[in-house]
Amino acid sequence: MNELIPLMVIIPIACGLLLNLLHKKDTAIKILAIVVAIVLPIIPLLSNYGLHYFGGHAPLIENPILLETLPSQISQSALAIFHPAITYSYESLQKLFIFVLGIVAFFAIFTSLNETKKVSGPYMFLMFMGTAAVTALLLSNDIFHMYIFFEIAALCQVGIILVSSTKENYETALKYMILGSIGGPLLLLGIGFILGAVGSVNISDIIYAINQNLVNPFSQTFLIGFGLILFGWLYASGLPPFHTIKSSIYSKALPHSAALLQSFTVVTFIAMGLVIFRIFSYLPFLKVIILVFSLIAMILGVTMAIIQTDIRRILGFLAVGELGYIGIGLGIGTTLSITAGLFQAVNEILITALLFIGFGTVFYLTNSSDTKKLGGLITQNPKIAIMVLLGGFAMAGVPPFNGFQSKLMIIESALKAGFPEISIIAVLVSIVTFMVFMKAFYSVYLKPKPQDLSIVNENIPKSTILSIAVLLIICLIIGLFPQLVTDNISPFVAGLI
């Protein structure tokens, strides 16, 4: 059933467009959005692994009859092996990430529909479109296609900020767009350099050309292309120097959309990171570069989180710090470390979504996310407070949650690969993460309630509580049975190495 592969992208796009047209028809929007949100995590489970060629144009070598009719310049050269159409590749890793993304998208849409009084068609459109864009990034085996959906994902993120109607959202959106509009064309330019050298934008073709010595991978063309694509990757995933703008984006979004936005970031980080890893793995300095940026992201993320007073911004910076762990896994470059990094990515998507939705209830209750103005909210809803606390434990890597398993794997892989310094930094950053989280938790829930704190909404919707509970249960299950996730990652990593 390889026909289902493109449907993972087509369905959310089609649904998004339809929702946009249904603007102001609230009931129709709610029903359609919920139905499609339920379908999103189901399609990857039903689809078989394999390749999907758009337009049915397989490489010429798979069609010997046609190949015979073509000139020898084509039939006896690499052109016969090259992919003439956009190709989607669907493997166990894609299945895992699209499934997790689907779950987060479902909960973000579910809570959004119940928390907001007036349902917005364009807002739903942007959430679905963003989900489709990052899904396409994961599936695509084509660097130009990657660029297209990179831009669409960036536009959707800006759109989500714009329709969130939070204070100073337009200013943040402008800043993000200016940086993005420099990062995007530079990424395109990098793709142009690779296209100029190889003659194809298909990743498998580029790797084939490098392995068969059809091109010189150490030529200036390739190195400039690498530098520009790396720049695009740093921007898209919010690694330094773009960590500040990325966390600003989260803080200007509504909590449920921030949960979705961070999942977009992690998936983009993984999708583009793996593309860079696959194409440029021959470069001796690639792993060092990834390690350096990841370590800076970890350290800057947690240190900047310490000085913040806005809970959404604290979470934003902690999310950047957590992203560093994934990068370390990729940067060390062993089978165990990459598996650990990708495992950490799955965990980060789930835990950060839980925390954004969990702390989002504070914003829903008080219309404020400033820790200086908050306090004593544990009496308002102790159940949510406990679940958020457990979510924080998961993020900091406390057993038996999933964060513990993946961080332990990363530390173990760093030690095995001969990088004890990285293990020490990872442990220290984990401790600081715990400290920062506890400080935020104390400020919001435990310290005495300020006199001037007014409660805007008394009751938190049951759908929000359900979302937090289910996400927490998923974190616990993965923590107890990590093989549920790692079994899906290991075959992919084995093929990658």
Give the contact letters, 136-155, x = binds to another protein (CB under 8 A), - = no. --------x--xx--xx--x
The only residue of 33, 100, 105, 201 in contact with another protein, by rule CB under 8 A: 201
Residue 72 vs 451, nearer CB to another protein: 72
184 part of the interface to another protein, by CB under 8 A: yes
Using the minimum distance from each CB to another protein, give the nearer residue, 149 or 364. 149
- The Cα 358–Cα 395 span in angstroms is 13
Please, which residue, 313 or 407, has the CB nearer to another protein? 313
- Decide: is 27 part of the binding site for another protein (CB under 8 A): no
Give the whole-angstrom CA distance, residue 361 versus residue 359: 5
- Separation CA 250–CA 254 (nearest Å): 8
Size of the site for another protein (CB under 8 A): 39
Concatenated DSSP letters of 147-206: HHHHHHHHHHHHHHHHHT--TTHHHHHHHHHHHHHHHHHHHHHHHHHHHHHHS--BHHHH
Between CA 98 and CA 265 the distance in angstroms is 13
Q: At what angle do helices 255-280 and 92-115 cross, to 10 degrees?
A: 160
Quick check: 74 binds another protein (CB under 8 A)?
A: yes
Of 206, 313, 220, 329, whose CA–CA distance to 266 is shortest?
A: 329
Applying CB under 8 A, among 62, 171, 421, 487 the residue interacting with another protein is 171
Determine, following the binding rule CB under 8 A, whether residue 177 of this chain makes contact with another protein: yes
Q: Name the minimum Å distance from CB 109 to another protein.
A: 23
350: tokens are 């789930």
Q: Which is nearer to another protein, 23 or 175 (CB)?
A: 175
Q: Is 178 in the site for another protein (CB under 8 A)?
A: yes
Please tell me the distance from the alpha carbon of residue 408 to that of residue 402, in angstroms, as a whole number.
10
Of 172, 294, 337, 381, the one binding another protein (CB under 8 A) is 172
Q: Which of 96, 158, 290, 374 binds another protein (CB under 8 A)?
A: 158
62 binds another protein (CB under 8 A): no
Nearer to another protein by C-beta: 6 or 185? 185
- Closer by beta carbon to another protein, 186 or else 438: 186
Give the 3-state secondary structure of residue 95: helix
Q: Does 170 bind another protein (CB under 8 A)?
A: yes
Please give the DSSP secondary-structure letter assigned to residue 455: -
CB of 168 or CB of 487, closer to another protein = 168
Axis crossing angle, helix 92-115 with helix 121-139, rounded to the nearest 10: 170
Q: Which residues contact 488 (CB under 8 A, 6 or more apart)?
A: 92, 93, 95, 96
How far, in Å, CA of 95 to CA of 48, rounded?
9
CA-CA distance, 314 to 303, in Å (whole number)? 10
| The length of the chain, given as a count of residues | 497
- Minimal distance, residue 430 CB to another protein, in Å: 30
Q: Would you count residue 431 as binding another protein (CB under 8 A)?
A: no
Applying CB under 8 A, does 70 fall inside the site for another protein? yes
Nearer to another protein, 72 or 459 (CB): 72
Binding another protein by CB under 8 A: which of 57, 175, 278, 439?
Answer: 175
Of residues 62 and 171, the one with the C-beta less far from another protein: 171
Question: With binding defined as CB under 8 A, does residue 195 bind another protein?
Answer: yes
Please state, in angstroms and rounded to a whole number, the distance separating the CA atoms of residues 410 and 234: 21
By C-beta, is 240 or 331 nearer to another protein?
Answer: 240
Beta bridge partners of 87: 53
Least Cα distance to 310 among 228, 266, 353, 250 occurs for: 250
The answer to the question of residue 73 lying near another protein (CB under 8 A) is yes
What part of residues 237-256 is at the interface with another protein (CB under 8 A)? Answer: 248
61 touches another protein (CB under 8 A): no
Rounded to 10 degrees, the C-alpha dihedral 97/101/104/109 comes to: -170
Residues that bind another protein (CB under 8 A): 69-74, 144, 147-148, 151-152, 155, 158-159, 162, 168, 170-175, 177-178, 180-182, 184-186, 188-189, 192, 195-196, 199-201, 248
